[in-house]
Amino acid sequence: MKEVKVGLVGCGFIGNVHAEALAKVPGARAVACCSPDEDMREAFAAKHHIPGFPDHRSMLKEAELDAVVVGIPNALHAAVVLDAANAGKHVICEKPLALTLSDAERMIATCRKHGVLLCYAEELCFVPKYQRAKELAEGGAIGSIYRVHQVEKHAGPYSPWFWKAETAGGGILMDMGCHSIEFARWFLGKPRVVAVTAWMDTVLHKDKTELEDDVIALLEFESGQTALLESSWALLGGMDSITHVLGTEGVIHADLLKGQGLQVFSLQGYGDYAPGARGWTFPDVEWLHLNGYPQEDAHFVECMRSGATPRENGEDGKAVLEIMLACYASAAEGRRVALPYQPPPGVRVPVEPWLKSRKDR
């Protein structure tokens, strides 16, 4: 079995998550990393015992790689994915896939042209608790599903670039809302979304950003089912990742973060990102596995070996992006927006129409 050698683009939180996840995948190994931040790069390289490079181009040129993981600010995804594909490397791209539909289409087309996979890293679709919930629902445990209610909330992001439209593309919708959207699509079997209605505001972090920090979105599917999605950076006292699946003969409730039996209250926080662990937390016994990361990377690696299409791929990332663009338009215009949706010409980042609507009020 040929070892799959992976380079990590980005040495922050999510890069570390993938390095640790890949260490649990038989026949795969992180062999290089890159970041323009010298201190971060050197610390990351030392921790994982791999060489570090100042940028992805030098890593692609000098390191022996089969694939890369792209875990950097959203605005940089497209350029790195295109460079990696042109170099003949498979790509695991963190969410969101891109900031524009044209970039997403180019990323998909370039990977296809060079015969490499574009894997969309949506870990919620690999979470054991959520996979079991899906099995129960598909087995008829709750009758016909008519709604998925999904919640992703915490008190705010861990890195400054998330607060800026030019690097993130938007606020909580681009950060956590994309999780909820793809979760709902996956859970329901990926029927086409035909319309969205969204409401958003900046309720807690006006001192840091003009971006939205609280969002409610209603998705209507061609199947007649709906998804009610709540995403927020305005939840104080911990983090929520909760799903309710409503059926004609029952309900499934799945709480990802509060079901392991451990409860901790800490004033100062703890762990790798202490501010995110202040107040009440519910630590996992095996965080990586329970959040789906090793299973996600193992699936992608197996697809690289077999040539199979990943369960989560570039087309899924593009679909999520289109839905988010429609959500920003809905919140900006105060109306239901039908899909397919294409933003007006000249829109550079997804949140732009909503920001303009606030300034025009």
Mean pLDDT in consecutive groups of 10 residues from the start of the chain, 361 residues: 93 97 97 98 98 98 98 98 98 98 98 98 96 94 96 94 98 98 98 98 97 98 98 92 95 85 80 77 82 97 97 98 98 98 96 95 76
Distance, CA of 10 to CA of 15 (rounded, Å): 6
Return the pLDDT at 278: 79
Give the model's pLDDT for residue 205. 97
* CA distance to 84, 108, 168, 318, 321, per residue, from 105 (Å): 15, 5, 19, 7, 11
Q: Report the pLDDT value the prediction gives residue 286, as an integer from 0 to 100.
A: 85
Q: What does the pLDDT read at residue 261?
A: 57
Q: How far is CA 117 from CA 1, 69, 86, 209, in A?
A: 19, 12, 12, 35
3-state secondary structure the chain: CCCEEEEEECCCHHHHHHHHHHCCCCCEEEEEEECCCHHHHHHHHHHHCCCEECCHHHHHHHCCCCEEEECCCHHHHHHHHHHHHHCCCEEEEECCCCCCHHHHHHHHHHHHHCCCCEEEECHHHHCHHHHHHHHHHHCCCCCCEEEEEEEEECCCCCCHHHHCHHHHCCCHHHHHHHHHHHHHHHHCCCCCEEEEEEEEECCCCCCCCCCCCEEEEEEEECCCCEEEEEEECCCCCCCEEEEEEEECCEEEEEECCCCCCCCEEECCCCCCCHHHHCEEECCCCCHHHHCCHHHHHHHHHHHHHHCCCCCCEHHHHHHHHHHHHHHHHHHHHCCCEECCCCCCCCCCCCCHHHHHHHHHC
In this prediction, residue 224 carries a pLDDT of 98
| Interatomic CA distance for residues 260 and 258, integer angstroms | 6
Residue 361 has what pLDDT?
Answer: 76
* Peptide bond between residue 344 and the one before it cis (omega within 30 degrees of 0): no
Contact present, 33 and 21 (Cβ < 8 Å): no
The answer to whether 356 and 340 have CB atoms below 8 angstroms apart is: no
Cα–Cα distance list, 231 to 87, 214, 289 (Å): 37, 6, 23
**From residue 188, how far is each of 34, 58, 87, 183 by CA, in Å?**
37, 42, 36, 9
Whether 184 and 263 have beta carbons less than 8 Å apart is answered as no
